[in-house]
Amino acid sequence: MKTRSDRLKVVLVTGGGRGIGRATALLAGAAGWSVAINYRSERDAAEATADDVRANGGEAVAIRGDVADEADVIRAFDETVAAFGRIDGVVINAGIVAPSMPLADMSAERIRRVFDVNVIGAYLCAREASRRLAKSRGGSGGSIVFVSSVAARLGSPFEYVDYAGSKGAIDTLNVGLAKELAGDGVRVNAVRPGLIRTEIHASAGQPGRAERLAPMIPMGRPGEAEEVAQAIVWLLGDAASYATGTSIDISGGR
């Protein structure tokens, strides 16, 4: 196990192979941090991200696992500790959307899968992070950052009300867990991205959605994953030492 400076961190990023997760991993790597990149199925993307983290000056490992599966979540944390010796921060980013439609047309299977990944998965990851980081449980403290969405307050009508509801649950978890862990050396915060140019739109059958909706954004453009990553890495770092239980909207004013 390599000895790391106290100023450098070990961070686990769920859904770290693409989009906001990838941008966060790269920025953390540029700071010299060690990054565990969790992925469910896209191994090539995760391994490519790990290579880029190393090229940026950090250390990295790719770890397969479905966040909706408890055993996979526990193993991801175990493998992070095995690779780097500890965990200082966790970015709970993995999430999915499904094709746009009103709630009346959604199947139970679709709704269940969205909530399994976006809510149950986030709770499992947050629970495991709490167990590993809390000082009262033998941890050294640290930081948890949730990736929520402005959809939680906009509702995403006629498109993704299931996704919006799942992110509303994340906002509530953020507030409650921050209060639970504040005395245990663990800060808990969230970012709420708006319309960001990532692959998630294509996964829901709308690859051009970010550009199509750009006129609705006060700043007149979609955001970039790197702009969200800047806020996440700040919240993970020591500069945000008095920030907990807060959400930062990265939405161009929307």
Q: Catalytic amino acids? A: 163
Whose tokens are 């709970």? That residue is 92
| Residue 201 burial (10 A CB sphere; 0-12, 13-18, 19+) | buried
Q: Could you give the maximum distance between any two Cα atoms of the chain, in Å? A: 55
The answer to whether 181 touches 159, Cβ cutoff 8 Å, is no
The answer to whether 100 touches 158, Cβ cutoff 8 Å, is yes
Take residue 20 and report the two structure tokens written for it: 């906001």
Tally of CA atoms within 13 A in the half-sphere of 45 that contains its CB: 15
Nearest to 60 by CA among 98, 31, 40: 31
Take residue 106 and report the two structure tokens written for it: 């959604």
Q: How far is CA 142 from the centre of its chain?
A: 16
SS3 at position 60: strand
A 10 A CB-CB count for 44 gives: 10
The answer to whether 166 touches 180, Cβ cutoff 8 Å, is no
Structural Rg of the chain based on CA atoms: 17
- Local structure of residue 254 (DSSP, 8 states): -
